[in-house]
Structure 1
Amino acid sequence: MEKFTEHCGLVVPLDRDNVDTDAMIPKQFLKSIRRTGYGPHLFDEWRWLDHGEPGMDVSGRKPNPDFVLNQPRYQGATIMIGRRNFGCGSSREHAVWALQQYGIRCVLAPSYSDIFRNNALKNGLLVVQLPEAEMDTLFDETLATPGYRLTVSLEAQTVTRPGGQSIAFEIDPYRRQCLLDGTDDIDAVLAHAEAIRNYETMARRAQPWLYSTQPGQAD
């Protein structure tokens, strides 16, 4: 997993409440067994005027000029700002993968679906929750300022605006450390591999009947 310490990036505003994961990556793309190739289909039904399917060559598709991701001023954006209940809908990690593979490193919003928040943090996408008043200011400034950029520091737990004003945010300490280290839950378990092996050895000696096998069964 890629480390996240501090990131400065162009901001794209998605000015809608209740943006759901079904919109982020429509159901037909869940048929793929791969973990790659979702970026071109992020918000597929909003972003394109035709119907998308897995493996489709997007170079010949007609983009929706009214959708924010297709506007020239937001090309190359790596920070997305959203409204209330961002990431609601069904549980699908594909939504997080699509955001990441499009190039989004961080999302800022006043509230999130718990499932989306957990999926995002476990996959290395930083999601920051800020008060609605602060989000209103960020939307106003983004819309009024072409090339608007923010600096998000996970180390300092701050979002810094172009004028230097910083907004503090909270994050679960364990998830924060995982992002800073670039580790996931499996890495966290493997860090204790020796202690786990020692425990298994001790348990086999103390309670051998729990580890005995019947004829024909694998140990």
Structure 2
Amino acid sequence: MEPFTVLTAVAAPLPWSDVNTDDIFPGPGVTPVRHWPSAREVLSDRHKMGPNAFAAHRYAEDGTPNPEFVLNRPPYDTAGILIARENFGCGSSREMAVWALVGIGLRCIIAPSFGDIFAGNCVKNGVLPVRLGHDVVERLLTTAAERPDGRFTVDLQECTVTAPDDARHAFAIGAYQRDALLNGLDEIAATLSRLPTIDTHEAAYLARRPWLGGGS
């Protein structure tokens, strides 16, 4: 997993509340990409799911691009940051929603609140979920819309978001989540990084309980 330290990128404004994981990654029966020759790969290969991100909004029913959708419009089509309203990523637990966002180059989502499972899946896949207050997010949405070529900087080391107008906003994140993202550790890698501690604990535990197989 690629470490996340500092990201400077275009931010796409998506002023929607309650965006659920079905919006982010629509299922095979409803997504317009089902008409594509590559539909099977797009819907089943986690490394090729980007085209299905927001597909019901990005494409017409026949699979052609919708020029009005924000992520189809330059420069937002190259955005590394997405700004949305409350309760982003609510609904089902499908991790494919995050895989699809990664597939279109998004590394950070800024919103007042997130679905809990979605936020956890973000961290597991190298995407930073940033929670900021409602009023701050509204200002960032306006800035992103009015200054499409502006760059936002998200600094995980300092836990700040800096807008193109140099307004800086601090955010909070759990110590484990911050460490995992800074070091590019998924859950398996995080566990392996603690093997010496785990081995020491296991040896001490079994020494006190030899009948479990750790001693004679």
TM-score (norm 1): 0.85
Aligned ranges 1:139-218 → 2 under 5 Å:
139-211=141-213
Amino acid at match of 2:17: D
Which residue does the alignment assign to 2:36?
none
Q: State how far apart, in whole Å, the 1-side matches of 2:133 and 2:14 are.
A: 16
- The question of whether the paired residues in 2 share the 8 Å contact of 1:78 and 1:103 is answered with yes
Count matched residues.
203
Query: What is the root-mean-square deviation in Å for CA atoms of aligned residues?
Result: 2.1
Q: State how far apart, in whole Å, the 1-side matches of 2:172 and 2:21 are.
A: 24
Report the Cα offset of residue 205 of structure 1. 5.0
- The question of whether the paired residues in 2 share the 8 Å contact of 1:30 and 1:94 is answered with no
- The question of whether the paired residues in 2 share the 8 Å contact of 1:178 and 1:184 is answered with yes
Which residue does the alignment assign to 1:125?
127
Report the Cα offset of residue 10 of structure 1. 0.5
Which residue does the alignment assign to 1:87?
89
Matched, 1:44 2:55: yes
Q: State how far apart, in whole Å, the 2-side matches of 1:122 and 1:13 are.
A: 24
Report the Cα offset of residue 203 of structure 1. 4.5
Q: State how far apart, in whole Å, the 2-side matches of 1:6 and 1:182 are.
A: 13
The Cα offsets for residues 4-51 of structure 1, whole Å up to 9 and x where unpaired, read as: 110100011111110000111112289955321110110111111126
Q: Aligned in 2, Cα 1:156/1:205: closer, same or farther, shift over 3 Å? A: closer
Which residue does the alignment assign to 2:104?
102
Q: Aligned in 2, Cα 1:73/1:204: closer, same or farther, shift over 3 Å? A: closer
Equivalent pairs: percent with the same residue? 42
Q: State how far apart, in whole Å, the 1-side matches of 2:197 and 2:139 are.
A: 49
What secondary structure does 1:99 align onto?
helix
**Which of the residues 77, 80, 86 maps onto 2:79?**
77
Which residue does the alignment assign to 2:8?
8
- The question of whether the paired residues in 2 share the 8 Å contact of 1:150 and 1:159 is answered with yes
Report the Cα offset of residue 200 of structure 1. 3.9
More displaced 10-residue stretch of structure 1: 100-109 or 72-81: 72-81
Which residue does the alignment assign to 2:45?
34
Report the Cα offset of residue 183 of structure 1. 1.1
Report the Cα offset of residue 72 of structure 1. 2.5
Report the Cα offset of residue 96 of structure 1. 0.6
TM-score (norm 2): 0.86
Q: Which runs of 4+ in 1 moved over 6 A?
A: none
Report the Cα offset of residue 141 of structure 1. 1.4
The Cα offsets for residues 162-216 of structure 1, whole Å up to 9 and x where unpaired, read as: 222210000001110111111122222212223433444455554344349xxxx
Amino acid at match of 1:4: F
Report the Cα offset of residue 102 of structure 1. 0.5
Q: State how far apart, in whole Å, the 2-side matches of 1:42 and 1:18 are.
A: 16
Q: Unaligned 5+ residue runs, structure 2?
A: 29-39
Amino acid at match of 2:21: T
Report the Cα offset of residue 140 of structure 1. 1.2
Amino acid at match of 2:52: H
